[in-house]
Homo-oligomer: A and B are copies of this chain.
Amino acid sequence: MPEFFNVLAPDVAFEALKPMLTPLDDRDVVLTSSALGRVTADYICSPEDLPAFKRSTMDGYSVRSRDTFGASEGLPAYLEVVGEVRMGEAADFRLAVGQAAKAYTGGMLARDADAVVMVERTQMLDETAIEVLRAVAPGENVVQVGEDVRTGDTILEKGSIVRAQDIGGLLAQGVTSITVCRKPRVGIISTGDELVPPDAQVGPGQIRDINTYTISALVEQCGGEPITLALAPDEFEEQRIAALNGLLSCDALVFSAGSSVSSRDLTAEVIDSLGEPGVIAHGISIKPGKPTVMGIVDGKPVFGLPGNPVSAMVVFDLLVRPAIFHLGGCLRIPSLPTIQATLERDIPSVAGREDYIPVSLDQTGECARAMPIFGKSNLIYTLIRSEGIVKVPLDKSGLYAGEAVRVRLY
């Protein structure tokens, strides 16, 4: 297959892939307290009412509201205090007409009470009598049974990423374990005759493999499980065997292609040899990142990312990240962290192509300022010295200094 046989626009690239991806069927049961960041495999319904009892929202007195009707500072209602409902305890007495009971924020009301008077709206006459200085309506200062959640309510949608507060909500209902989607296993193959492992002695003309590790970290950040498969030379059979082995245990494959054109073309050939339908995009109209290969083999996505670091990161965000979330059952892919900034310099581009330019950020002022870094995208430190990246949309031939831009932070 020749280079750039089937170039896709960036906005259609993932859309072309998506219908061919099937979310994984496998599930894990995990402790709710350890479920941060996992994706729910099912709707989770509320097993009980929350709160399970009428709860006071104030420190004060639980009362029968009608006993306070008409009360004011000038004409207070006199109530007899017949008890106290301590925190964590149930009321073991009822209120008769004209009676009240001490109540605490989060505590139960006395039986037959339907409202709470704040302590600040009362005057204590002696140990057993108070004046109420303001009427309360039925239900005032009370959280009703089931007001937070009712039995049977959906408390967490299927395909949600579990957040800190979701853990709280589930545990509040006694849901101490949940079913989540298995993390997608993403196999990584770095290719290139020039690569050696990072801890190896580097000979002349050789460079250390870094993409295995940056891609692993990126996979982890979107909830996948990275699997290091191989560091393969630019040799068809060796890459093919590594990939076939990878497909046995992984749900997706990522090739990090060597930097020469022949190496990149080889990746496409290998992907095409693995199974049907093989390569579905060869080239994407972005810069950097054009020499991207995307395929499907037996329902599993296989990506060939360009070897240079800026391209690899851009294409990972655009294609691999949403694919991992999708495989992992996530129905609402979280947006990437961004910040609004004012562009400090013009960025030239070409209409019909998306450009991605690393920027450094000055966040000292009211509005952040983004300074484009026009370094070569094949320099690793362009990414390290920058704090984010700015996109020049497909239909624009550049961005102007002073424009407000959205910076994707990384």
Interfacial residues, chain A to chain B (CB-CB below 8 A): 32-33, 36, 50-53, 57, 59, 85-90, 104-108, 143, 147-149, 155-156, 163-169, 171-174, 176, 192-195, 198-199, 202-211, 213-218, 220-221, 234, 258-263, 307, 309, 313, 335, 337-340, 363, 376, 378-381, 383-384, 409-410
Contact = CB atoms under 8 A, between A and B. Distances in A.
Contacts of A263: 87
A284 to B, nearest CB: 18
Contacts of A208: 171-174
Contacts of A104: 259-260, 262
A260 B173 CA distance: 21
24 contacts: A33-B213, A57-B378, A59-B260, A86-B193, A87-B193, A87-B260, A88-B205, A104-B262, A105-B259, A107-B194, A148-B381, A149-B380, A156-B384, A164-B313, A165-B309, A165-B380, A165-B383, A165-B384, A168-B309, A169-B383, A171-B208, A171-B213, A338-B339, A340-B340
A168 B210 contact: yes
A380 B169 CA distance: 6
A164 B221 contact: yes
Contact of A176 (B194, B198, B337): B198
Given A107-B205, A195-B88, A380 B410 contact: no
B217 A36 contact: yes
- Across the A-B interface, give the 10 residue pairs with the lowest CB-CB distance, nearest first: A90-B204, A106-B259, A164-B217, A88-B194, A168-B214, A168-B210, A171-B198, A104-B260, A87-B193, A88-B193
B193 A148 contact: no
A87 B213 contact: no
Contact of A143 (B90, B149, B313, B379): B379
Given A87-B193, A87-B234, A214 B164 contact: yes
A209 B215 CA distance: 39
A183 B144 CA distance: 42
B107 A260 contact: yes
B217 A167 contact: yes
A371 to B, nearest CB: 17
Nearest to A217: B164
Nearest to A33: B213
B210 A53 contact: no
A149 B53 CA distance: 65
B213 A106 contact: no
Contacts of A52: 202, 204, 207
A208 B169 CA distance: 10
A218 B217 CA distance: 21
